[in-house]
């Protein structure tokens, strides 16, 4: 930004020498205890070089992912050793998919579809080929954006979370409860729980529409609207044998209620704590003393789960997810907002539960 204040010449030269693009930067931080708003992000014009260097590719952005974990990246300190904070007036980044327009990397050719965890929020970018993975659209029936969700890090989180921390056993008559059940991860987790062997799956979500979709489309046995219903009462009714596996996307009061109805030697899959993300608390947040007492007395496991620790299982797991998608066993919902300019609004909406399934921003066709 400093170049503009020093006079227009350098900017004018840059504009002539490079390609003009649009990008989204972090405009302001909401504060550790603040609620993020669209205005925390800013759309601006910038330039990228005309020439692609050896090993690089120029890509046009097709889809960007907005996810709850990004709330931590809006703070100066993310509270995590694996997440870097976004810098003010610098381009934001996250999961993205694009198409190669020019390549000086032997692994990629013009027209290839590629993805990265650290895709800049801009219309066109020059990226190092080593950061990219090539995508095979046929694996997801041509629905490329699924590689950001059901066939990407979100699906991996659900599948590997259940396999590594859920201890689901076919024929063991286990009941699974999923909170944040209509979100990107929760909507997959309930279905995967069933595919992996759970006999009963109950979701918790925040609107009647979400609860209806979970039961009619996603194959959940039942769903509880926590904003309207008494969750403890409904759980007793819908899970008469108690809860064996809890896929926790939210934390807070809802999780305390579920934990109090969990069985001896049951398991919590600690995926996310979105109810706590706007508060300055450690991750995972400590349980209240009475709930912690229940957890210890009943020997309920509650270990932090980080999908990045299981990347040796990524390839086989993605293939399993793609197979389920192709077979129609894994139903995928997305909430798609069009236009890079609307990514801040998409993020704000997702943090407030405005999405069903994965929140995606479609940048260009």
For helices 289-297 and 252-259, angle between their N-to-C axes, nearest 10 degrees:
40
For residue 274, what pLDDT band results from cuts at 50, 70 and 90? low
Q: What is the side-by-side order of every strand in the sheet holding 222-225?
A: 222-225, 200-205, 175-179, 243-248, 262-270, 301-304
Region 189-212 average pLDDT: 97
| Beta carbons within 10 angstroms of residue 45's beta carbon | 11
Give the residue from 111, 108, 117, 8 showing the smallest Cα distance to 70. Answer: 117
Instruction: Report residue 346 as tokens.
Output: 């998409």
Instruction: Report residue 289 as tokens.
Output: 């003393």
For the stretch 114-125, pLDDT in tens is: 999 999 999 999
Q: Look at residue 17 in the predicted model and tell me its pLDDT.
A: 63
233 touches 164 (CB < 8 A): no
Q: Look at residue 33 in the predicted model and tell me its pLDDT.
A: 87
Is the predicted pLDDT of residue 282 greater than 90, yes or no? Answer: no
Pairing of strands 243-248, 334-338: unpaired
Region 33-42 average pLDDT: 95
Q: Rounded to 5 degrees, what are φ and ψ at 229? A: -110, 160
Region 344-365 average pLDDT: 93
Q: Look at residue 304 in the predicted model and tell me its pLDDT.
A: 81
101 touches 124 (CB < 8 A): yes
Region 44-49 average pLDDT: 96
235 touches 157 (CB < 8 A): no
For the stretch 110-154, pLDDT in tens is: 999 999 999 999 999 999 999 999 999 999 999 999 999 999 999
How much of the chain exceeds pLDDT 90, in percent? Answer: 84
Is the predicted pLDDT of residue 305 greater than 90, yes or no? Answer: no
Q: Rounded to 5 degrees, what are φ and ψ at 35? A: -95, 125
Is the predicted pLDDT of residue 18 greater than 80, yes or no? Answer: yes
Place of tokens 């070089």: 49
Mean confidence (pLDDT) of the chain:
92
Q: Look at residue 299 in the predicted model and tell me its pLDDT.
A: 98
How much of the chain exceeds pLDDT 70, in percent? Answer: 92
179 touches 204 (CB < 8 A): yes
The CA distance from 336 to 351, in Å, is 15
Q: Residues 75, 77, 82, 86: is their CA dihedral positive or negative?
A: positive
More confident residue, 325 or 303: 325
For residue 13, what pLDDT band results from cuts at 50, 70 and 90? very low
Task: Quote helix, strand, coil % in the chain, to nearest 5.
Answer: 35, 30, 35
| 57 contact partners, CB below 8 Å, separation of at least 6 | 100, 102, 103, 104, 105, 108, 114, 126, 127, 129, 132
Is the predicted pLDDT of residue 271 greater than 90, yes or no? Answer: no
* Structural domains of the chain, ranges and CATH numbers in brackets: 19-149+333-362 (3.90.180.10), 153-309 (3.40.50.720)
Q: Look at residue 7 in the predicted model and tell me its pLDDT.
A: 41
């Amino acid at each position: 930004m400093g170049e503009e204040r020093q006079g227009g010449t350098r900017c004018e030269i840059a504009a002539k020498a490079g390609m003009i693009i649009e990008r989204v930067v972090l405009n302001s931080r909401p504060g550790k205890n603040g609620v993020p708003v669209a205005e925390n992000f800013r759309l601006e014009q910038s330039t990228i070089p005309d020439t692609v260097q050896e090993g690089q590719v120029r890509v046009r952005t097709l889809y960007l992912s907005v996810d709850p974990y990004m709330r931590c990246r809006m703070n100066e300190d993310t509270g995590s050793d694996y997440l870097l904070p976004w810098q003010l007036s610098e381009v934001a980044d996250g999961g993205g998919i694009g198409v190669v327009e020019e390549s000086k990397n032997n692994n990629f050719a013009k027209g290839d579809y590629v993805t990265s965890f650290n895709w800049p929020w801009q219309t066109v970018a020059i990226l190092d080929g080593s950061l990219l993975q090539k995508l095979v659209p046929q694996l997801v029936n041509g629905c490329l954006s699924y590689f950001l969700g059901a066939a990407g890090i979100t699906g991996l989180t659900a599948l590997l979370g259940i396999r590594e921390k859920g201890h689901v056993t076919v024929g063991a008559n286990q009941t699974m409860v999923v909170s944040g059940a209509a979100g990107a991860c929760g909507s997959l987790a309930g279905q995967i729980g069933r595919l992996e062997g759970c006999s009963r799956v109950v979701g918790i979500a925040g609107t009647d529409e979400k609860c209806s979709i979970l039961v009619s489309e996603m194959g959940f046995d039942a769903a509880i609207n926590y904003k309207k219903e008494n969750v403890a009462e409904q759980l007793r009714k819908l899970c008469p044998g108690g809860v064996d596996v809890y896929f926790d996307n939210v934390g807070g009061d809802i999780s305390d209620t579920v934990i109090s109805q969990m069985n001896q030697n049951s398991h919590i899959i600690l995926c996310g704590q979105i109810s706590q993300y706007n508060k300055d608390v450690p991750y995972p947040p400590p349980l209240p003393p009475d709930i912690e007492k229940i957890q210890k007395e009943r020997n309920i496991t509650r270990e932090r789960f980080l999908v990045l620790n299981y990347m040796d299982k990524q390839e086989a797991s993605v293939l399993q997810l793609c197979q389920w998608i192709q077979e129609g066993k894994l139903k995928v919902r997305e909430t798609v907002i069009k236009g890079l300019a609307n990514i801040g609004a998409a993020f704000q909406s997702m943090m407030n539960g405005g999405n069903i399934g994965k929140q995606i921003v479609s940048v260009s066709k």
